[in-house]
Amino acid sequence: MLDFEKYTKYSKPGPRYTSYPTALEFKDAYAYENYIKNLETQDSARPLSLYFHLPFCRNACYFCGCNVVFTSKEDKMLRYIEYLKKEMDILTQHVDVKREVIQLHFGGGTPTFFTAPQLKEIIDLIKSHFKNFATSAEISCEIDPRHIDEDQMKVMSDAGFNRVSFGIQDFNEKVQIAVHRVQPYQITKDAMDLARKYNMVSVNVDLIYGLPYQTLETFKETLTLALTLNPDRFAVFNYAHVPWLKKTMRKIDETTLPVPSEKLAIMQYVIDFLTSNGYKMVGMDHFAKPEDELFKAIETGELHRNFQGYTTKGGADLIGVGLTSIGEGVQYYAQNFKDMGEYETAIEAGKLPFERGVELSEDDMIRQYVIMELMSNFSLDIKRFEKEFNINFKEYFADAIVALAIFEQEDLLTITDDHIRCSETGTLLIRNISMPFDAYMNKHASSSKTFSKTL
């Protein structure tokens, strides 16, 4: 066993790098007119990736960091569908909807909180606006196993959905009660069986470590149970405790959270357990069977990281639709309003519900390349980077090389003239290893209320 106490010094606030620059750098200075211009001048040869945020949940899960609207009123959901239609009507004025769609993802909230007829209406609206779906398109949905029935699964199957991810988080009842999400094993198994009955190509599960009352021993039991479900992929996320941003997290007793050394031990066990059971690690928190398309993407350099995690659909412009959704182009990020009233007001005025974003400088794009390579592959091909940007890597990043020296001394990575490569232990600290390349970290260094802790 590794001496995990040795590495607890690296437990400090740091980004997850689902984007670079991170969402903290999204500003009002990136004006609506700039966003529209970027949308209208996108390369028509680049495909589209569509993300739809369906924000409603009945109750709060205390660990959840998503943007959620709690309701049990059907009229709110019907109203939301009307505004999704209006938003897409406006989008078609600024986006070339003849472009090929290679990815569609429903996130939330709880997307399957919408009934089967409501889901069908949303899907039909999307396909009436975006008609050029690739035959190989990845069409996916996040699902809470407590809120799925056969009619809903059939609607998704008939519409071409081929990937579903089920939130488990933890099977331990004490943990489930502490985070206000009681979900017995059988409910999850029934939901996954339903997905396979309707021929979903990939059936995946999400776990979270770092939750209240979790220990290495209890998480071993959760992993053993999850393995019996035979998922195609595992996503095993480090719990992001940010109670200053999410009020529901204040209901969690912080004294019950596992310490950093325990979390490191859990993640090391996850890696050993899943790799010994036929899965391979992809990026910092995903595991997949060897035949999974994620590995083909790594081999061809097409593995991409965005706000949905790791994806094979690189080289696409991401269009975010719905409350708080985030879009991404070659040189920008853009986020919709988080407040429902402001979202609706913008649409009623005939405008996209854009609130803020950021336009990337040349330096941003250089650093984005490095950080995303490290986050996706735990390595960086320096010669490939220098060919891509026509700059000397070690001169440009002289300060970062100095900051990485401590990681090299502790055998967490190696740096040569050709590559940066993380060791197996270094992969557990990939967020820390990426941070020296982040030009914005210094201005956040004095605040503990920015990012979740890396460990």
Q: How far is CA 261 from the centre of its chain?
A: 25
Are 224 and 159 in a shared domain?
Answer: yes
Tell me whether residue 416 is in a domain: yes
Tens of pLDDT, residue by residue over 186-237, are 999 999 999 999 999 999 999 999 999 999 999 999 999 999 999 999 999 9
Are 64 and 140 in a shared domain?
Answer: yes
What is 148-165 written as a DSSP string?
A: --HHHHHHHHHTT--EEE
Are 305 and 366 in a shared domain?
Answer: no
Q: pTM of the prediction?
A: 0.92
Tell me whether residue 261 is in a domain: yes
Establish how many alpha carbons lie within 13 A of residue 76's alpha carbon, considering only the half-sphere containing its beta carbon.
Answer: 13
pLDDT of residue 283: 76
Between CA 54 and CA 63, with CA 58 as vertex, the angle to 5 degrees is 85
Are 34 and 177 in a shared domain?
Answer: yes
Are 65 and 96 in a shared domain?
Answer: yes
Are 271 and 243 in a shared domain?
Answer: yes
Are 223 and 234 in a shared domain?
Answer: yes
β pairing state of 286-288 and 309-311: unpaired
Are 202 and 106 in a shared domain?
Answer: yes
Tell me whether residue 13 is in a domain: no
Domain final residue pick, 340, 359, 378: 359
Domain final residue pick, 329, 359, 389: 359
Q: Is the confidence at residue 244, as pLDDT, over 60? A: yes
Q: Which two tokens stand for residue 360?
A: 């990337």
Q: Which two tokens stand for residue 198?
A: 């309707």
Tens of pLDDT, residue by residue over 355-377, are 999 999 999 999 999 999 998 88
Instruction: Note down the domain range covering 366.
Output: 362-438
Tell me whether residue 396 is in a domain: yes
Q: What are phi and psi of 273, to 5 degrees?
A: -65, -50
Q: What are phi and psi of 329, to 5 degrees?
A: -120, -175
Are 327 and 406 in a shared domain?
Answer: no
pLDDT winner (highest mean) among 301-305, 317-321, 371-375:
317-321
> What's the structural domain count of the chain?
2
Convert 370-380 to b/e letters by CB count within 10 Å (16 or more is b): bbbbbbbbbeb
